[in-house]
Amino acid sequence: MRIVLVLLAWLGLGTAALAHPAPLADSEGWRAYKARFVTEQGRVVDTGNNGISHSEGQGYGMLLAVLAGDRATFERIWTWTRANLMVRDDQLLAWRWEPDRRPAVADMNDAADGDLLVAWALAEAVSAWNDPSHRVAGRRIAVELGRKLILPRAAHGPLLLPAVAGFSAEDRPDGPVVNLSYWIFPAFDRMPLLAPEFDWIGLDRSGRRLIRAARFGPSRLPSEWISLSGAPRPADGFAPDFAYNGLRIPLYLAMAGATEADLYAPFLALWPRPESGLALVETGSGRVTARLTESGYGAIPALAACAARGTPFPPGLTRVRAESEHYYPATLQLLALAALKTRYPACAPR
């Protein structure tokens, strides 16, 4: 049965694809998003981070373009990405591009989430438009990612290193160090279409196990950087915070169709009212370190509550305010809205 589903997905006939091949087609939110954040050249601009671009943002932009059925924008973003971030001596992407710096890429390290997002977007593009060049490019990235970033026989199960350099047991005494927000769960069902020789499903399982195991302090939340040299603990040299990146964990779970209430419980306890802002905390004490008030962020707990409890999605969170909010909340909100339409239509406002 699984082989049949993989083949159907590869042909663009997965269950979600049958119902909504382009869930963001005709979306005012997508049109506003690309008008503000995607340049004519195809650079996705992180407006909340000094106007830089990064592999993560390029991958998000490519993925959203596929979800909108917008091939022209997809190709524009992919062309810029190839020209400006695929500058390493392998098939992975340099993680950061700065418009006011020369050279614009100062750090040649990669970022696993950016690599994975771009490869996943290419896999989705194959299903949408059946261009062989997308399949070849996606496979090259996926194979390199599998070879260099997946630890297949780690004590906690297959692990995804955050980057080629800096996080392994050889690189640091408390290594391997991981970041659970880099486990992009909805990508793992698609990556076998590009590189079936790697254990993507094992990564999915290990990520869920670690989310349950890495519950630190009174908030029972994971820190962003976690040492797995023994039992999971906050990694040395990093703030032990559930922070800006970690809020993607429940989003990715929901996008993948996870409905186990216990996976979402600590996140939903932290965010009881999606439309009132998202708290971030220091995991040791539970102290709130920041509160994210842009409305796009509220789509994350709203989607998580739908996945875990069947809670209706608030109508006010269906409007994407790309004209006034930054790239990051607008991106996460669009991803949540696509998942709402494809996976959880019963929760959607009528």
List, by residue number, the catalytic residues. Answer: 56, 113
C-alpha to C-alpha distance for 317 and 274, rounded to whole angstroms: 9
In contact, 325 and 257? CB cutoff 8 Å: no
Residue 300 Cα distances to 33, 221, 297, 326, angstroms: 18, 16, 6, 16
C-alpha to C-alpha distance for 213 and 346, rounded to whole angstroms: 31
Q: Is 38 helix (H, G, I), strand (E, B) or coil?
A: strand
Helix boundaries (H) for the chain: 2-10, 15-19, 28-37, 55-67, 71-85, 112-129, 132-149, 185-188, 200-213, 248-255, 261-270, 299-309, 327-343
| Three-state DSSP string of 115-141 | HHHHHHHHHHHHHHHCCHHHHHHHHHH
Q: Within 10 Å of residue 234's Cβ, how many Cβ atoms?
A: 23
Q: How far is C-alpha 27 from the chain's CA centre?
A: 21
C-alpha to C-alpha distance for 233 and 225, rounded to whole angstroms: 9
In contact, 87 and 67? CB cutoff 8 Å: no
Q: Show the CA angle centred on residue 172, arms to residues 168 and 174, nearest 5°.
A: 90
Q: Within 10 Å of residue 94's Cβ, how many Cβ atoms?
A: 22
Q: Look at strands 159-160 and 233-234 and give their pairing.
A: unpaired
Q: What pairs with residue 56 in β-bridges?
A: none
C-alpha to C-alpha distance for 303 and 338, rounded to whole angstroms: 10
